[in-house]
Amino acid sequence: MTKLPGKTVERLSEYRRTLLECLNEKRNFIFSHDLAARLHITAVQVRRDLMLIGYSSVLRKGYDVRELIDIIGKIIDSEESMNVAIIGIGNLGRALAGYFKGKRSKLNLVASFDNDPQKVNKVISGVKCYPYIDIERMIKELDIRIAILTVSPDFAREIAEETVRFGIKGILNFTTIPLNVPSGVYLEEYDMITSIEKVAYFVKENKI
């Protein structure tokens, strides 16, 4: 399978979660336009994405929810599970840790890192917190592949660079500092302030 566009991958993740909700509601089949409506996109978009992953339903009575969940998993999940660490376990870090709790998923949160003596060596939000000095050792010992970066901006660049040196293959950067990573490492950045300012801009413009 050739690499999918990022946007499609994002939507696949959303499809899957919507489909899981369907299962909860005992819906076993769903039409493309239903799925689309729940996510506020178009049915064509859904069908096109499914085309890209080579899925097609045999029936004309909508997609088999269970089957589709399975297929999406085969596409976006890795074979064996992948280990994740949260670096900087402040409010944002804990919020993110919460998302992992009780999720049967191919993504395991296996460690957090922080230098706050209140936190070090304690279990926080279900995961043990190590000091930064242990980053190298723990990345290797626990085979951590993905780092979620929620440290204060002052350390962001330095720590990101370290994690990469010690073998991290993907970074999800929530700090306000744009990072630089070597090729072979995947970087995704999200900046909350930008989102807020964007909302403010469009609110202003709508009003005018």
Between CA 185 and CA 179 the distance in angstroms is: 11
Among 55, 106, 134, 140, binds its own copies (CB under 8 A): 106
- Beta-ladder partners of 186: 170
Contact residues toward DNA (CB under 7 A) are 5-8, 31-33, 41-45, 47-48, 50-51, 55-63
82 close to 54: Cβ distance less than 8 angstroms: no
20 interacts with its own copies by CB under 8 A: no
Stretch that binds its own copies, among 43-51, 53-61, 155-163, 198-206 (CB under 8 A): 198-206
Residue closer to its own copies by CB (options 61, 103) is 103
Query: What is the longest distance spanned by two Cα atoms in the chain?
Result: 59
* Residue numbers at the binding site for its own copies (CB under 8 A): 3-4, 6, 9-10, 13-14, 17, 38-40, 75-78, 82, 84, 90-92, 94-96, 98-99, 106-107, 145-146, 148, 169-172, 176, 178, 180, 184-186, 188, 190-207
